[in-house]
């Protein structure tokens, strides 16, 4: 019983550390984007997204490239599927719930409308890449590992497009808060902003690993099988930094950054972990992974239509969490039926 309480305490403690570190990260990355003359949307989709998605990508690399067992490699493939699912449902739902709780609405401004069109384009690209990603999980052929290069190239093209399209965006949501590492400076130095961002990212990385480790300890206590744990709870844990960033930015009224961070993280999850999986595993899906893929595709299709048609709202975003509950129920039923 004592060990259970220790596990729960470490789980909650690491979540608090992740949130506080994300406060420093979002503050630092905004200043880095400002110093590098990167537009607000690209700051979210590229700089912030790459930083918070890097730890999960490293974990996937370690699992698929250095995992000594088939189970370890399967966990890496599961992470590559579970990450986009958690972002498309839980992360977007968090934004909607925070907007409802704070009684705020998405601003109806030219900049926000332009961003929503850009986000619809992102969802469309993600869906196209995701369909290819899933199709490759259904077949086995010799040249499959080489296709991983195409996924890396797709992400490089996305980054180039985002940096080009957003470099001249000066319509920022509110003023920048003082840099936490240099609070008295009206305009902090670029170097100290980068140091703060990287330091916060390092703390997020280690706290996230601690969070996941405690979750893995808690799984057997709750009677969860390893596969259920990998697809149900681990993705929520590994995508916790992006979710925390969304909470912080919505609280600050920076809705564009919150949505852009999730969108950019999804593009990373659609490409880099997939490339690693293709390089080091057979990349074949079982029924659980196909279920995760189907619910993810459904979620992205809804978001694509909503962003493209301008119908996105806080209620719709909040309702995306229902699709994750649907997935959880179907996954449990699938495992109980075996």
pLDDT tens, residue by residue, 231-240:
777 777 778 7
pLDDT, one tens digit per residue, over 9-22 is 888 888 888 888 88
Q: What pLDDT does 71 receive?
A: 62
Check pLDDT > 90 for residue 199.
Answer: yes
> For residues 12 and 40, what is the distance between their CA atoms, to the nearest angstrom?
32
Check pLDDT > 70 for residue 227.
Answer: no
Is the separation of the CB atoms in 261 and 44 below 8 Å? yes
> For residues 217 and 207, what is the distance between their CA atoms, to the nearest angstrom?
15
The fraction of the chain above a pLDDT of 90, given in percent, is 25
> Average pLDDT of 77-97?
89
Q: What pLDDT does 88 receive?
A: 93
pLDDT, one tens digit per residue, over 252-261 is 888 888 888 8
Helix (H) or strand (E) holding 237: helix 234-238
pLDDT band at 110 (very low <50, low <70, confident <90, very high): confident
Q: What pLDDT does 128 receive?
A: 92
Buried b / exposed e across 270-303, counting CB within 10 Å, b at 16+?
Answer: bbbbbbbbbbbbebebeebbebbbebbbebbebb
> Average pLDDT of 185-205?
89
> For residues 43 and 32, what is the distance between their CA atoms, to the nearest angstrom?
8
> For residues 246 and 242, what is the distance between their CA atoms, to the nearest angstrom?
6
Check pLDDT > 90 for residue 317.
Answer: yes
């Amino acid at each position: 019983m004592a060990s259970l309480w220790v596990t729960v305490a470490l789980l909650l403690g690491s979540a608090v550390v992740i949130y506080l570190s994300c406060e420093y990260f979002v503050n630092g990355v905004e200043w880095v984007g400002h110093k590098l003359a990167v537009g607000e949307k690209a700051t979210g989709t590229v700089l912030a997204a790459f930083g918070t998605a890097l730890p999960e990508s490293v974990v996937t690399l370690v699992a698929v490239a250095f995992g000594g067992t088939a189970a370890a490699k399967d966990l890496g493939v599961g992470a590559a599927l579970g990450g986009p699912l958690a972002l498309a449902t839980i992360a977007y739902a968090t934004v909607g719930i925070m907007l409802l709780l704070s009684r705020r609405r998405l601003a109806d401004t030219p900049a926000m409308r332009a961003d929503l069109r850009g986000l619809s384009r992102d969802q469309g690209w993600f869906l196209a890449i995701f369909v290819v990603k899933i199709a490759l999980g259904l077949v086995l052929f010799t040249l499959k590992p080489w296709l991983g290069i195409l996924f890396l190239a797709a992400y490089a093209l996305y980054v180039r497009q985002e940096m080009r399209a957003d470099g001249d965006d000066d319509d920022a949501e509110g003023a920048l808060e003082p840099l936490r590492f240099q609070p008295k400076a009206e305009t902090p130095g670029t170097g100290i902003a980068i140091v703060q961002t990287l330091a916060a990212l390092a703390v997020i990385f280690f706290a996230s690993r601690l969070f996941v480790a405690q979750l893995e300890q808690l799984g057997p206590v709750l009677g969860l099988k390893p596969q259920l744990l990998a697809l149900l709870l681990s993705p929520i844990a590994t995508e916790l930094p992006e979710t925390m960033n969304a909470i912080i930015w919505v609280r600050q009224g920076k809705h564009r950054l919150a949505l852009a961070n999730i969108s950019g993280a999804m593009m990373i999850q659609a490409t880099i972990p997939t490339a690693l999986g293709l390089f080091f595993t057979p990349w074949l899906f079982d029924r659980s992974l196909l279920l995760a893929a189907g619910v993810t595709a459904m979620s992205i299709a809804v978001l694509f239509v909503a962003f493209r048609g301008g119908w996105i709202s806080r209620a719709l975003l909040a309702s995306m969490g229902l699709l994750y509950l649907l997935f959880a129920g179907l996954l449990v039923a699938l495992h109980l039926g075996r």
